[in-house]
Amino acid sequence: MELAAMRNLAAALAIGLGAIGPGIGIGILGSKAMEAIGRNPEATGQIQSNMILGIAFTEAIAIYALVIALIVKFV
């Protein structure tokens, strides 16, 4: 294969595989937060703020994968 095709494939694999983990993690985090709110509605504010913080940290991993994919593609 030529170099450009290999770069495209590597970038696609980097972002594809790098987004699977955070996607699953955010899904589990949201599910468990909704379960916790259902069990204890009085703690909604604290659970929601912790959920949003966890989602932000998890999403950062996907952003790192995107940066790596862009570096592979264009450098």
- Tell me the CATH architecture of domain 3-74: Up-down Bundle (1.20)
- Separation of alpha carbons 4 and 27, rounded Å: 34
For the chain, give every domain's residue range: 3-74
Q: How confident is the model at residue 72 (pLDDT cuts 50, 70, 90)?
A: very high
Backbone angles phi, psi at 37, to 5 degrees: -65, -35
Q: How confident is the model at residue 68 (pLDDT cuts 50, 70, 90)?
A: very high
Q: Kindly tell me if the per-residue pLDDT of 1 is higher than 90.
A: no
Q: How confident is the model at residue 60 (pLDDT cuts 50, 70, 90)?
A: very high
pLDDT tens digits, one per residue of 3-55: 899 999 999 999 999 999 999 999 999 999 999 999 999 999 999 999 999 99
